[in-house]
Amino acid sequence: MIGKKIVETNPITIPEVKEMLEERSQFHELTYEQNLALDHVTKFANLDAENAQKLVEELEEIVKKNQAIKLEDIMPEDMADMRLMFAKERGSHKKEELEKLLNIINKYRE
């Protein structure tokens, strides 16, 4: 990787990764790692890319973008799961905030 430098990073959701890999597979043969990634995201994508983006936008009103994306990827089902998601975070979220996040996630659950 001589001469290559990361200019910027932008986290994306699992459904967006799935969409990107499926689009790439139409034009190019995927590498072994890309095939593994496509298999993984196919199994674990909970929403389509459009709904995932809407969910992240709603969650971003309460938490940071990285946290919102992680919540969309995992789609916690109860308060215990929500607490685990934020266990390592500095500062804790109030119970009301966690309940509000859970209610938003439940609206998008299929």
Q: Are residues 33 and 54 in the same domain?
A: no
102 within 8 A of 76, measured Cβ to Cβ: yes
Number of domains in the chain: 2
The yes-or-no verdict on residue 89 having pLDDT over 80 is no
Q: Is 75 left (phi over 0), alpha (psi -120 to 50) or beta?
A: left
Q: Are residues 96 and 54 in the same domain?
A: yes
Q: Are residues 53 and 103 in the same domain?
A: yes
- pTM for the predicted model, two decimal places: 0.83
Average pLDDT, the chain: 90
Tell me which residue range forms the domain holding 56.
49-108
CATH, residue 61: 1.10.150
Q: So what's the pLDDT on residue 3?
A: 66
Cβ contacts of residue 98 below 8 Å, gap of 6+? 79, 82, 83, 86
Per-residue pLDDT averaged across 61-72, rounded?
92
pLDDT digits (tens, 9 = 90+) for 23-39: 999 999 999 999 999 99
24 within 8 A of 37, measured Cβ to Cβ: no
